Amino acid sequence: MKEKIIETIDDYVEDAKEVGRLLKEKYNRDLNNPKIRNRYLIIASVGLVITILIANIFTSRAYYYQDTEGALLIQAKVGRMYIDDYDYTLLVFVESDEDESFFKLTESIPSSGYTYNGYSCLNNSTLLYDDGNKITRATIREKDVCSVYFRKS
């Protein structure tokens, strides 16, 4: 009985080796054919582009958590964002070089040389500034525009 089981297992091993050899031959034959090789390259390139696009979509949006009261933006980017039913714009102003009472619009949160001076939102959203990470967190309940102000240090 034991010999019969061992023979059966040996037959399965030989069959698996034969299938592996046939697959290896087909794979090598496919890669030697320029048309099929080009198809593989096109498929791989399209897959890579789609992966990059999906990653870009997920990383370019603000991270947020939505509850019954509104949306909490975990990392709000400067500019205009549409999140589900919310339309949110974050503007960043820095103190002007010429006049201390004048603020000018900038495209990003300053990384050095400025200190946080406060914020204002048109529709009473709350905004928190994280100085360590140089990001803002906002809780919005409707369409809103928030402005963050920085003074020279």
Q: Locate 38 and state its tokens.
A: 């080009």
User: Can you list the positions of beta strands (E) in 30-78?
Assistant: 63-67, 70-76
Output the pLDDT for position 74. Answer: 55
Q: How far is CA 152 from CA 32, 74, 94, 113, 129, in A?
A: 65, 26, 8, 6, 16
Output the pLDDT for position 12. Answer: 81
Give mean pLDDT in consecutive 10-residue pieces for the chain, a chain of 153 residues: 76 84 75 77 90 74 59 67 75 84 86 89 86 81 87 85
Euclidean distance between CA atoms 137 and 89, whole angstroms: 13
Output the pLDDT for position 149. Answer: 92
Output the pLDDT for position 35. Answer: 79
